Amino acid sequence: MPFIPLMRRLSWATAGYRLALALLSTALALNLLALSPPVQAAHAIAQYGTPKYPAGFKHFAYVNPAAPKGGTLVLANPSRLTSFDKFNPFTLRGSAAPGIDLLFESLLTSSADEPASAYGLLADDVQVAADGLSVVFHLHPDARFANGDRVSAADVKFALDTLKSAQAAPQYAAYFSEIKQAVVLDPQTIRFDFRQRNRELPLLAGAMPVFSRKWGMRADGSRIGFDQLAFEVPIGSGPYQIEHYRDGRTITYRRDPHYWGNALPVRVGSYNFERITYKLYSDEVARREAFKAGEYDAMVEYIARSWVRRDVGKPFDRGELIKREFPQRNGSGMQGYVLNLRRPMFQDARVRRALDLAFDFEWLNRQLFYGQYQRLDSFFANTDFQAKGLPSAGELALLAPWRAQLDPAVFGPPPVQPDTDAPGSLRANLLQARALLAQAGWTYRDGALRNAQGQPFTFEILDDTSSAANMEPVVAPYIRNLKKLGIQVSFRAVDFALYQKRLDAFDFDVTSIRYAPSGPIPGTEQVDRFGSKAASQPGSGNLSGLNSPVVDALLQALVRAQTPEQLLDAAHALDRVLLHGYYVVPHWFSALHRVAYRRGLAWPQTLPLYYAAGDWITSTWWFTPAR
């Protein structure tokens, strides 16, 4: 996916997306705000209910306020990125440096032990209008950019206007589309006006990254176009600044000695390393061997086979390197083979279902994954937002107007993923797949599966070279199964820059992607992933090219939900429609973070609930004095 640093999070000082999807409990439902809430003027806001931490709280429960400061944390590739060619993470062209989000902050920041609350960071007060159509932020009087300038309301407005402009990556305009405008009320006060009432929008406005109007300004007062900014150092307010970088492969950040937010409750116990260095390796093998050789300090392991078979050796035996699994309550999101509906052969749902039937997860889990995974069966798996059983009355109210355009199966239980464990079998699944393909006009003749025009069914699975070594053993049996149906599939790995360019241009047949959980509560980010408008916007998250008025209507119901019940109904209905559309061949998930780290690193005793492992390491770990 295009790199959108913390677009999906309330904290812009850690990498990745917003906090992972959390469960809405019954207790939360009982503590709802009224449908038309009174004006709030407070240190924090919550999408539903009230924030966990009261005014005057000292620090988050999952940090160590006495953590020692200092040391240099060295990390490897945090993603598929193998090189970078810019510092600007908000534009479409190029690849931004890893960790660059450490330079930016937002008006509000989230906590990692509650679903959807936001606390003051750059803002020291937030006021939501009674009608829900606007929110006012007052900026903290001490908030400063790295150049010493005070953060002003004009800077906040400049950031919003820039991100919504054609100079920024198109996802930003889509993501902030419901924010009509930002209005400067005075130098330290700004109001965001919304196009409609949406309980997520005040948090969305608070999550927007803020940067100085002087970023890109030349000495003579002229300005470099925002989309032309490359290695011009960003002017943000975050806890770190760039110290040095080299060859687009290594970058070091140093903690700002004048960082304005050290004493804030939301920052106490956080960002304890004096320096954070990222070294980018060209492939997975080189990265792993470098870790064993002591070139960097911590590694999040995403490959089950590697965790069992490769993350071993003398450094582990001697206790120099340590492996540990950390529980987490993140929703799983959706990971799988995304089928590009812009290709004619994938436009029939029966064909897409046949491709799902050919995927043998049980064999992979036994032979390659050491039984460490579960099969994904929802776009919101492992959360209350996952559709189960028959549709509720609320779901039916959303689905019924579209009955003529929907498969009748949508009004029944969600589809069950094919199983090859006894009494099921791969053979039975392939026979069912062959029948579906025949119904769609694809029959086997002249040595291949062909349509009525005699064209063979062929496609390419695209990946990038940094992950190809791990994915090829997974892809190979899938290709073999499809070959039994007469479908010819090739696997192609390209360097990350080209891979990203092809995804941005939707120039692929099938690729493996994870739709990471992008918030404790699903919302506006789903519009970018599945909305019709995004399907035609290069660089958007709608890789499948889904263009459906039904899905669009459900997405609007999702983002406009005013109660947890409405939100659950919309999410369940959306999940049903997406699952019955078979737009993705689902992969697998785990409820654990697997982390290997160098002896001498430590973390708080209390773990967060909803967190990305890499972000957690950079934001709350520290080096012990006796390391």
Task: Report the pLDDT averaged over residues 376-404.
Answer: 95
Task: Report the pLDDT averaged over residues 207-229.
Answer: 96
264 and 356, same structural domain?
A: no
Question: Strands 275-279 and 72-75, how do they pair?
Answer: parallel
407 and 263, same structural domain?
A: no
Give domain status of residue 481, yes or no.
no
pLDDT for residue 111 is more than 50: yes
Domain tally, the chain: 2
Q: Number of H helices and number of E strands within the chain?
A: 18, 28
221 and 354, same structural domain?
A: no
Instruction: Give the other-Cβ count within 10 Å of 260's Cβ.
Output: 22
- Phi/psi region, residue 294 (left: phi>0; alpha: psi -120 to 50; beta: rest), is left
567 and 617, same structural domain?
A: no
Task: Report the pLDDT averaged over residues 65-69.
Answer: 97
User: What pLDDT was estimated at residue 8?
Assistant: 28
What CATH number did the domain enclosing 167 receive? 3.40.190.10
pLDDT for residue 257 is more than 90: yes
350 and 257, same structural domain?
A: no
- The one-letter amino acid at 577: V
356 and 208, same structural domain?
A: no
CA 486 to chain CA centroid, Å, is 36
User: Is the distance from CB of 155 to CB of 213 less than 8 angstroms?
Assistant: yes
Give domain status of residue 485, yes or no.
no
Give domain status of residue 503, yes or no.
yes
DSSP letter at 456 equals B
pLDDT for residue 113 is more than 70: yes
Host H or E run for residue 622: strand 622-623
Give domain status of residue 455, yes or no.
no
Give domain status of residue 312, yes or no.
no
User: What pLDDT was estimated at residue 15?
Assistant: 30
What CATH number did the domain enclosing 362 receive? 3.10.105.10
Q: Residues near 344 by Cβ (< 8 Å), separated by ≥ 6?
A: none
Tokens of 339: 């089928």
Give domain status of residue 303, yes or no.
no
Tokens of 311: 């993350």
520 and 601, same structural domain?
A: no
pLDDT for residue 449 is more than 80: yes
**Mutual angle of helices 564-581 and 549-559, in 10-degree steps:** 160
Residue-wise pLDDT tens digits, 13-28: 333 333 232 322 323 3
583 and 596, same structural domain?
A: no
Q: Residues near 480 by Cβ (< 8 Å), separated by ≥ 6?
A: none
Q: How far, in Å, CA of 441 to CA of 450, rounded?
A: 8
**3-state class of 254 per DSSP?**
strand
268 and 131, same structural domain?
A: yes
Give domain status of residue 92, yes or no.
yes
User: What pLDDT was estimated at residue 38?
Assistant: 39
Residue-wise pLDDT tens digits, 592-624: 999 999 999 999 999 998 888 999 999 999 999
Residue 295 backbone phi and psi in degrees, to 5 = -80, -20
User: What confidence tier does 171 reach under pLDDT thresholds 50, 70, 90?
Assistant: confident
pLDDT for residue 9 is more than 60: no
Give domain status of residue 14, yes or no.
no
Residue-wise pLDDT tens digits, 491-547: 999 998 899 999 999 999 999 998 877 666 788 889 999 999 999 999 999 999 999
Residue-wise pLDDT tens digits, 462-502: 999 877 777 899 999 999 999 999 999 999 999 988 999 99
235 and 189, same structural domain?
A: yes
User: Is the distance from CB of 136 to CB of 191 less than 8 angstroms?
Assistant: yes
Parent domain of 30: 26-279+591-623
| Residue 417: closest CA among 476, 353, 371, 469 | 353
| Residue 394: closest CA among 550, 561, 525, 520 | 561
348 and 231, same structural domain?
A: no
Question: Strands 123-128 and 40-42, how do they pair?
Answer: antiparallel
420 and 554, same structural domain?
A: yes
